[in-house]
């Protein structure tokens, strides 16, 4: 996108299953005094890795470089304080960890950045400064806003304020850890514990899920249980992802464990038929009684 807009940029490549090495960024900044901005992803949903926020911002500050943080999948669940880590710009959206519908983007920027005397952008949609000035002067959007999405987002932010970012992150982390336990006999977490985010979990099952076709088969199997995961296999790491965001019922995770058992183990009979309805399987495992009702998995 930067190239299309005629902006010179240098990209740094690092392994996708490890947090980003600050030393590579330091070497790049020290070797190129023309760099003015450092843009990086806080939580990379490709594998669920969390990148080091504070060290990156502190490094950029020492070099006089402004920071732009992509916090699309971390804001709302991973604590981020502009007072403690004085970044210049942070971008996120109304969905993901805020748990609202998609459709609204947020930019948290320092007043120094917004007031700076820089050339105006040649994009109406991406002109954050002009939108900010319009809000300050008129209190209105520059064009017709998606009012229903804004109202839903406002409610989601109220719910986030009640729960708190730390507690929401802990809730997601408990879901992640429960998924690891449920799927443990058949799949392994890709990342080391120190690099795992609470928002999504990357798993590997290299003996069974090696290609996109293999994942397609697993995905189709989970759909039979009304369970849905990310559809794309990350080929460099042969990993697939399960989301931990939102209001996830513990029963769905138990059902996921049974679905994995049915898929990965030798529990299929000779004809290849399914070993029984999933809710019956839950009752066989002692996870359900006849009096309990089963929520609809999402």
The strand pairing partners of 239, in sequence order, are: 204, 234
Give Cα separations from 1 to 4, 36, 45, 131 (angstroms). Answer: 5, 17, 20, 21
Tens-binned pLDDT, residue by residue, of the chain (298 aa)? 888 888 889 998 888 888 989 999 999 999 999 999 999 999 999 999 999 999 999 999 999 999 999 999 999 999 999 999 999 999 999 999 999 999 999 999 988 888 877 766 778 888 888 899 999 999 999 988 889 999 999 999 999 999 999 999 999 999 999 999 999 999 999 999 999 999 999 999 988 999 999 999 999 999 999 999 999 999 999 999 999 999 999 999 999 999 999 998 843 444 444 444 455 555 555 554 434 444 444 4
- The sheet that has 37-41: what strands, in order across it? 37-41, 66-70, 89-93, 105-109
Cα 153 to Cα 161: distance, rounded to the nearest angstrom: 12
Instruction: Domain 165-284: give its CATH architecture.
Output: Alpha-Beta Complex (3.90)
Asked if CATH classification 3.40.640.10 holds for the domain at 22-161, the reply, yes or no, is yes
The strand pairing partners of 16, in sequence order, are: none
The residues spanned by each domain of the chain are 22-161, 165-284
3-class DSSP assignment, residue 246:
coil
């Amino acid at each position: 996108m930067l190239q299309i807009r005629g902006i010179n940029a240098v990209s740094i490549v690092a392994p996708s299953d490890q947090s980003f090495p600050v030393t590579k960024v330091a070497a790049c900044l020290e070797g190129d005094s023309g760099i003015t901005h450092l843009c990086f992803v806080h939580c990379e949903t490709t594998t669920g890795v969390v990148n080091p926020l504070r060290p990156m911002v502190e490094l950029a500050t020492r070099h006089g470089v402004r920071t732009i943080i992509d916090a699309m999948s971390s804001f709302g669940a991973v604590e981020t304080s502009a007072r403690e880590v004085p970044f210049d710009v942070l971008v996120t959206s109304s969905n993901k960890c805020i748990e609202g519908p998609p459709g609204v983007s947020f930019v948290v920027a320092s007043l120094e950045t917004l007031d700076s005397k820089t050339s105006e952008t040649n994009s109406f949609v991406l002109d954050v400064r002009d939108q900010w000035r319009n809000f300050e002067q008129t209190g209105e959007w520059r064009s017709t806003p998606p009012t229903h999405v804004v109202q839903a987002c406002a409610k989601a932010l109220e719910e986030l304020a009640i729960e708190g970012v730390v507690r929401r992150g802990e809730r997601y982390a408990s879901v992640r850890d429960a998924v690891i336990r449920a799927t443990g006999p058949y799949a392994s977490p890709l990342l080391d514990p120190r690099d795992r985010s609470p928002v999504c979990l990357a798993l590997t099952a290299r003996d069974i899920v090696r290609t996109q076709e293999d994942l397609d088969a697993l995905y189709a199997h989970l759909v039979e249980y009304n369970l849905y995961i990310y559809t794309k296999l990350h080929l460099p790491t042969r990993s697939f992802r399960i989301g931990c965001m939102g209001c996830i019922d513990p029963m769905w995770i138990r059902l996921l464990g049974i679905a994995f058992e049915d898929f990965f183990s030798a529990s299929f009979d000779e004809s290849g038929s399914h070993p029984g309805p999933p809710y019956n399987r839950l009752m066989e495992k002692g996870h359900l009684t006849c009096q309990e009702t089963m929520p609809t998995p999402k």
